[in-house]
């Protein structure tokens, strides 16, 4: 009898343990997102969305619910960890890494940025999000070192100078900007080293591509550096949506749009409404300059480009400015205001679902400005040269 009792007790114990195990596995078999919202009315829509890193990728609504009693809940299962966005109407956005766990989010609508709606909500329950926030803090520590204190308040100074339209103040800001350029480069190199080191130590982490960000660009890296870093990523890192930017940048800069390859031909409308075909431009060498009226660095580069243009125009040098992701009126107004004397065309958006026009997409334009120096057979000589590099190359080509 005693043995029977012990066997029964053992069986019940094992059964209980199995039930606990099943419950535990079930809890981690998917995700639950529990949100508490302050400042939004009941009935307000909340949408769980994907966060693609390329303008040409669609944003997918994964789920949607309405706020009830100041709360909302999502549940489901993800095949891999990735960054998502919880959007609360009309313009509140909370970005975080979604994984199969119980996640709690506390959102105060009043803290949403009025421009892009970004909200610094408190997110708990995602280990990946915790790791991401830790890396952000470490990068902030690099930026906030005493040796970089000259940058504090500088952005506000630039914005104030622009709004004042005071030419004297603008010149002072420009001089300070030029003086800080070496220090800015030092800071960028330190941040880049931190990011590369993170990827080396965490090659499969889904936050790796996001951490790397625009440091993985031709402005910050040589082709050899890109090859080395690109080949580090594996596993969950290459599944993350942010890896699309890394992959496209690598393909465009290292594999596709390299010196010696031929750039796509195109036909676009000029300011006067006529067709301009790139291959028919009467010039020995052409600089194709992708820009937009809203792009501050683009228009800031024009004074130097004007000097280069005037120096080599009579030798057979031409510039074709391709306005992309812009509005027709703004494009025309900018040309008049900047007095840019070269050829201008407008890049329309018919096929692309992103911000860029179709020609910019065909040229793999990752940011503005993006420039290509081509010969009269559309063969690429330089991609994104500085004005000094462009001047030196044209001097070599025209006046050896």
pLDDT range class, residue 177, cuts 50, 70, 90: confident
Instruction: Please tell me whether residues 141 and 98 are part of one structural domain.
Output: no
Structural domains of the chain, count: 3
Instruction: Please tell me whether residues 50 and 158 are part of one structural domain.
Output: no
Query: E strand or H helix at 172, and its extent?
Result: helix 167-201
pLDDT digits (tens, 9 = 90+) for 341-389: 999 999 988 765 557 889 998 898 878 899 999 999 999 999 988 888 9
Residue 317 lies inside a defined structural domain of this protein: yes
Residue 15 lies inside a defined structural domain of this protein: no
Residue 9 lies inside a defined structural domain of this protein: no
Sign of torsion, CA 280 286 288 294? Answer: negative
Mean pLDDT of 28-37: 92
Helix (H/G/I), strand (E/B), else coil: 113: coil
Instruction: Please tell me whether residues 182 and 214 are part of one structural domain.
Output: yes
pLDDT digits (tens, 9 = 90+) for 283-307: 999 999 999 999 988 998 999 999 9
Q: Given this model, what pLDDT does residue 394 score?
A: 94
Q: Given this model, what pLDDT does residue 343 score?
A: 97
Instruction: Please tell me whether residues 213 and 147 are part of one structural domain.
Output: yes
With vertex at residue 41, the alpha carbon angle to CA 39 and CA 42, rounded to the nearest 5 degrees, is 130
Mean pLDDT, the chain, whole residue set: 88
Mean pLDDT of 314-334: 94
| Stated length of the chain | 400
Instruction: Please tell me whether residues 146 and 223 are part of one structural domain.
Output: yes
With a CB cutoff of 8 Å and minimum separation 6, the contacts of 270 are 276, 343, 344, 345
Q: Given this model, what pLDDT does residue 178 score?
A: 80
Phi, psi (rounded to 5 degrees) for 96 = -160, 165
What CATH number did the domain enclosing 309 receive? Answer: 3.40.30.10
Instruction: Please tell me whether residues 247 and 266 are part of one structural domain.
Output: no
Instruction: Please tell me whether residues 268 and 392 are part of one structural domain.
Output: yes
Instruction: Please tell me whether residues 265 and 389 are part of one structural domain.
Output: yes
Q: Given this model, what pLDDT does residue 109 score?
A: 96
Q: Which candidate, 75, 119, 67, places its Cα nearest to that of 95?
A: 119
Instruction: Please tell me whether residues 237 and 320 are part of one structural domain.
Output: no
Instruction: Please tell me whether residues 290 and 387 are part of one structural domain.
Output: yes
| Cα atoms in the 13 Å half-sphere on the side-chain side of 306 | 11
Residue 17 lies inside a defined structural domain of this protein: no
pLDDT digits (tens, 9 = 90+) for 138-174: 999 999 999 999 888 777 777 777 777 777 777 777 7
CA–CA dist 66, 47 (Å, integer): 9
Instruction: Please tell me whether residues 141 and 109 are part of one structural domain.
Output: no
Complete DSSP assignment for 271-294:
TTS-EEEGGG---SEEEEEEE-TT
Sign of torsion, CA 96 101 104 109? Answer: positive
Residue 3 lies inside a defined structural domain of this protein: no
Q: Given this model, what pLDDT does residue 22 score?
A: 43
Residue 48 lies inside a defined structural domain of this protein: yes
Residue 365 lies inside a defined structural domain of this protein: yes
Mean pLDDT of 62-77: 97
Residue 18 lies inside a defined structural domain of this protein: no
- Whether omega for the bond prior to residue 90 falls within 30 degrees of 0, making it cis, is yes
Query: E strand or H helix at 138, and its extent?
Result: helix 127-143
Q: Given this model, what pLDDT does residue 281 score?
A: 96
Task: Among 92, 125, 158, give the residue marking a domain's end.
Answer: 125
Query: E strand or H helix at 239, and its extent?
Result: helix 236-239
With a CB cutoff of 8 Å and minimum separation 6, the contacts of 3 are none
Q: Given this model, what pLDDT does residue 11 score?
A: 43
Task: Among 256, 286, 314, give the residue marking a domain's end.
Answer: 256
What CATH number did the domain enclosing 52 receive? Answer: 2.60.40
pTM given for the model: 0.76
Task: Among 231, 256, 281, give the residue marking a domain's end.
Answer: 256
285-291 vs 317-324, strand pairing mode? parallel
pLDDT at 203 exceeding the cut of 60: yes
- 47 lies in which domain range? 31-125
Instruction: Please tell me whether residues 82 and 140 are part of one structural domain.
Output: no
What are 42's two structure tokens? Answer: 């009941």
């Amino acid at each position: 009898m005693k043995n029977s009792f012990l066997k029964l007790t053992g069986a019940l114990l094992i059964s209980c343990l199995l039930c606990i195990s099943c419950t535990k596995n079930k809890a981690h078999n998917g995700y639950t997102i529990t949100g508490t919202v302050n400042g939004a009315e009941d009935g307000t829509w909340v949408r769980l969305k994907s966060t693609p890193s390329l303008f040409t990728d669609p944003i997918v609504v994964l789920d949607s619910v309405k706020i009830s009693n100041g709360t909302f809940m999502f549940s489901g299962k993800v095949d891999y960890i990735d960054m998502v966005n919880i959007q609360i109407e009309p313009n509140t956005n909370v970005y975080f890494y979604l994984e199969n766990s119980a996640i709690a989010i506390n959102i105060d609508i009043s803290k949403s940025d009025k421009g892009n709606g970004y909200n610094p909500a408190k997110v708990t329950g995602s280990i990946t999000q915790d790791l991401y926030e830790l890396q952000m803090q470490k990068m902030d520590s690099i930026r906030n070192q005493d040796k970089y204190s000259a940058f504090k308040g500088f952005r506000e100074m630039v914005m104030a100078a622009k709004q004042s339209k005071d030419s004297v103040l603008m010149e002072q800001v420009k001089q300070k900007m030029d003086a800080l350029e070496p220090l800015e480069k030092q800071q960028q190199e330190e941040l880049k080293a931190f990011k590369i080191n993170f990827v080396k130590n965490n090659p499969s982490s889904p936050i790796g591509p996001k951490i790397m960000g625009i440091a993985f660009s031709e402005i910050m890296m040589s082709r050899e550096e890109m090859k080395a870093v690109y080949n580090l990523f594996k596993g969950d890192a290459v599944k993350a949506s942010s890896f699309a930017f890394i992959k496209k940048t690598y393909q465009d800069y290292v594999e596709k749009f390299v010196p010696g390859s031929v750039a796509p031909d195109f036909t676009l409308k000029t300011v006067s409404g006529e067709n301009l075909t790139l291959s028919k431009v009467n010039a020995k060498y052409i600089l194709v300059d992708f820009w937009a009226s809203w792009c501050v660095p683009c228009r800031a580069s024009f004074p130097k480009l004007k000097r280069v243009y005037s120096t080599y125009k009579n030798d057979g040098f031409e510039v074709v400015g391709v306005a992309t992701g812009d509005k027709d009126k703004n494009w025309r107004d900018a040309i008049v205001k900047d007095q840019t004397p070269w050829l201008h065309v407008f890049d329309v958006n018919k096929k692309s679902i992103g911000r860029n026009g179709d020609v910019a997409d065909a040229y793999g334009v990752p940011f503005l400005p993006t420039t290509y120096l081509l010969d009269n057979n559309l063969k690429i000589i330089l991609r994104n040269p500085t004005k000094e590099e462009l001047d030196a190359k044209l001097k070599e080509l025209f006046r050896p």
